[in-house]
Structure 1
């Protein structure tokens, strides 16, 4: 592909990535059928397609590309041969990835290690142990560069093979959290940092559930080390399930609140692991895993209907729509506490949308379940 053609593809992918979910899915469908993304975008721009014009009023892809060249950031559009193959097969694959570091790691056999930000000493030690062994065995460790378990996983991988990928919920040039600035620069030098968000994009609560689909999508499997019962790490597990990935959970002390999420995953069918070698044995041959294999998903990780209804796989709504849904739940709970079914009925949402919104609100600490089983404001 010529440099001009690559520029056009990157520009088109950046514009399309700012569209809503239905538009992005249409782009992916058309491209999978052989359409050239840059030609599609050229046509839509010439026709003054409203959605495209709306994006271009507030987003300037040319500036993004210029900044990338100046800061040695690479761009991977979904049509680029360097785009991660496993990730390209998931639903709503990111149309563009901003990449800082060792770009070839995007094609490594990878494994995700995630867990609680406020992890225990036990959790941190286990995250380091598992990540180091998996790294030394040849797997690239993927995580989200958060404090706690993510941090431990990245650090252990850097001490091992040195191969680790951080997937951010902000711009690739934004260091978040600030406490991990040193880690950020080490990963940028030795590993790879990825984001689908534009330069300067601040970390927002609604970015992280979407980020998690990339984290699991890059990986052959996911290990949850420690997690609260409504932890964002469970979102990654839900999405890994949908993508046909192997899901593992590590048991912890029964009196620790950060054991509740992993124990719940184990009860519902995640594979309990006590040693990293168990993961290596389970993953043997998984490089040939078909991410579309529904039979494999059902065989390896069965969720009950109730738990599956809690899958937090965000159908990308606009920020305004998401805020309105959150606001509606908060307003209902300002009047009185309610049980789950009552709150669902008054919300007017579908069960899947309601489960997603409630999980997000609980993760953010805005709502909680009291001792009587009723929901109230956090």
Structure 2
């Protein structure tokens, strides 16, 4: 049955039968009866919108543009024929370009397979068409994406396209205008890893206008390689505050010496280190701390984010070392020096520092002297100078010595 409905001759036969039945149903006029008048069939006007147009030309070698997709037709005539044509739509609206020349021209839009008793108006009645030679060329596809897609601190390398080339078919003048063949990649949110996306191929002229051509294939796969912009830098230990009284910081060490940072290339080139800050004010014993790695502005990420820091301390001790002899420097051979205070020419010194350093100290670790050069005869008060080991704090029992300078007896 479907095949019969597709047969135009079957449709025509059905239309003919319907016309005969309609004709037979019209009452006959009796001329002998008064009041009967011969009245022609009622006329009707109908408008049919969005009627598709067919174009006839050599599709293998030519490209035609300018033919509208649809037209509006108006049918006027006997009601039954108008209704039949509207219901069955067994007519065809077309443009015949089989004998048309190349180039631009104005051609009529015509209709066929419709009753001669109907008046048909087609709007528009003409089409301004362009007939061009059909050409096919191969073009390389350029991947395009917004740099804003890439997460800060990451770098997108040159994307790859698969397939890298496409076949573009169209009118010669359009194909000759092709300047860009692009595949634009879109993504939801920022990317920090390599991605592969399917992208539609866009064909554009030099003014970035889209060209009406056929692209094969019309979609390609674009891969954007993404890697982090990173480098390794040393972790500096920064001391904050002072340890409590009596506590000496012997050493501070971190279990990790380097960290990897991620940042934009221009930031990366400026950053030389990261740091951990150790607050010494609360350190009283050997301690292990887990501290955050502090980064400068512009650094997106650091790894590791936390490090373990070991703090070793030495408790301070105090010790007094007695009877350290005071040496005399710069004494003239003609003079002699006697100590008034301290009378025995010896002094005491109190030292404070790490117990492991302070405990073994003796008088032999210190040198105390006075300089008497240039002094005249008489009593004098002179400064005592001390040479002591490092990493300790010392204090003399008396800062100055009282002496007398006198000429030696002959």
Q: Flag the structure with larger Rg.
A: 2
Same fold (TM over 0.5): no
TM range (shorter): under 0.3
Q: TM-score, normalised by structure 2?
A: 0.15
Q: Which has the higher contact order (CA 8 A, sep 6+)?
A: 1
Q: Please, what TM-score do these two structures have when normalized by structure 1?
A: 0.16
**Structure with greater proportional helix content:** 1
Structure having the higher strand fraction is 2
